[in-house]
């Protein structure tokens, strides 16, 4: 009788040991994929459904063992919807990644000096971003009021997950621009030719488009502010190009400078009606705190930098040096 009891106990021990070893092997067993793959957990997907799908893909050998483990650890069944990158680490680690909501992160960058049309074109090609934008009521949708969205999206890189909406991403960019402008406006220099912070945003966008070297933003700001204070027209090509819109063919012509648009600063006094691009924080700060300078002219040297002048005679000489001599 004793021998029978010992035999039963020994069998139970062996069975337990084998079961434990199988359990450990299952826990540490890698997902059977050679390279990382993307996998979407749809809303409402259950643990058994996920497990069966992985088994059908031949990513794991047997589903029932993981169902047993899930009984022992119910947290494994808490699946969060989203797009995940699975790797050939253990099956359990990949499931826990889904439990923790560690989705694939995508990025969208608004570049300094991009205009709204360019940003929207980039939105259309952003992977896994749901484009829910209402182009007819875009400003209302993003900033909550009627107007023009140009200039109101802060240049930066924004991260998002699969299924996020374009409007939610652009709202983050708009909030960041509003905060940046609100923080900078009270610290502005005195006697600036702006009625409000929006005027400063318009100026910052022009500075952004005219700047080839970041170090020249303050001097370019000083030139434009000096011109406004002297009741001179800004006469800046980027505003003309913006006014032409899709009609601009890459080559600004004398006719373009003569033709009227609300943005042609060769034809209008003061600032254009809206920004012409998305300005950087540096451009905003330059617009609000320009250095003291008597410069009212500048001309591109062709290497990204500019020659600044205080008189028309100096400016004409610079134009002859850097523009006319190159075309003759």
Query: Tens of pLDDT along 180-211?
Result: 999 999 999 998 999 999 999 999 999 999 99
- Rounded-to-integer distance, Cα 171 and Cα 142, Å: 5
DSSP secondary structure letter of residue 269: S
Helices 63-72 and 47-56: crossing angle in degrees, nearest 10, is: 150
* SS percent in the chain: helix, strand, coil, step 5: 50, 10, 40
CB 318 within 8 A of CB 299: yes
The Cβ-side half-sphere exposure at 233, using a 13 Å CA radius, reads 14
- Rounded-to-integer distance, Cα 205 and Cα 188, Å: 17
CB-count exposure of residue 33 (10 Å: 0-12, 13-18, 19+): middle
Most distant CA atoms of the chain, gap in Å: 120
CB 217 within 8 A of CB 201: no
Per-10-residue mean pLDDT for the chain, 328 residues long?
Answer: 46 43 70 95 95 95 90 94 96 96 97 97 96 93 92 98 96 98 96 96 97 93 96 96 90 91 96 98 97 91 89 91 68
Closest CA to 113 of 259, 292, 6, 238: 238
For the chain, where are the E strands, in sequence order? 37-41, 82-86, 106-109, 157-160, 297-300, 306-309
* pLDDT at residue 8 in the model: 42
Closest CA to 104 of 83, 134, 135, 87: 83
3-state secondary structure of 41: strand
Cα distances from 327 to residues 136, 250, 314, 321, in angstroms, run 44, 18, 19, 10
Closest CA to 166 of 132, 128, 134, 135: 132
Render the burial of 83-115: b for 16+ CB within 10 Å, e for the rest.
bbebeeeebbebbbbbbeeebbebebebebbbb
**Beta bridge pairs of residue 288:** none
DSSP secondary structure letter of residue 320: I
* pLDDT at residue 227 in the model: 96
Query: Tens of pLDDT along 1-33?
Result: 554 454 444 444 444 444 445 555 667 899 999
Is residue 209 within a helix (H) or strand (E), and if so which, with residue range?
Answer: helix 197-210
């Amino acid at each position: 009788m004793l021998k029978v009891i010992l035999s039963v106990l020994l069998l139970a021990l062996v069975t337990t040991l084998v079961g434990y070893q199988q359990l450990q092997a299952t826990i540490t067993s890698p997902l059977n994929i050679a390279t990382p793959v993307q996998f979407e957990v749809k809303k409402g997907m259950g643990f058994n459904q996920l497990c069966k799908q992985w088994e059908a893909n031949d990513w794991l050998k047997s589903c029932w063992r993981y169902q047993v483990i899930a009984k022992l650890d119910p947290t494994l069944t808490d699946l969060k919807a989203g797009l995940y990158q699975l790797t050939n680490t253990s099956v359990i680690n990949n499931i826990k990644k889904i439990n923790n909501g560690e989705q694939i992160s995508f990025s969208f960058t608004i570049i300094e000096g991009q205009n709204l049309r360019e940003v929207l074109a980039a939105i259309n090609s952003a992977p896994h971003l749901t484009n829910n934008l209402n182009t007819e009521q875009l400003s209302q949708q993003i900033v909550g009021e009627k107007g023009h969205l140009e200039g109101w999206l802060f240049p930066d890189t924004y991260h998002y997950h699969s299924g996020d909406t374009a409007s939610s991403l652009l709202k983050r960019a708009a909030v960041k621009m509003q905060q940046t402008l609100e923080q900078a406006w009270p610290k502005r220099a005195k006697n600036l030719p702006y009625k409000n912070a929006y005027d400063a945003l318009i100026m910052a966008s022009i500075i952004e488009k005219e700047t080839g070297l970041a170090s020249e933003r303050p001097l370019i700001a000083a030139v434009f502010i000096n011109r406004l204070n002297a009741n001179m027209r800004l006469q800046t090509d980027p505003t003309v190009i913006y006014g032409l819109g899709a009609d601009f063919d890459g080559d600004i012509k004398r006719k373009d400078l003569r033709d009227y648009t609300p943005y042609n600063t060769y034809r209008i006094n003061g600032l254009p009606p809206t920004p012409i691009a998305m300005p950087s924080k540096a451009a905003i700060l330059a617009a609000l705190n320009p250095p003291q300078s008597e410069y009212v002219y500048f001309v591109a040297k062709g290497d990204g930098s500019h020659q600044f002048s205080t008189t028309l005679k100096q400016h004409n000489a610079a134009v002859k040096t850097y523009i006319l001599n190159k075309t003759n």
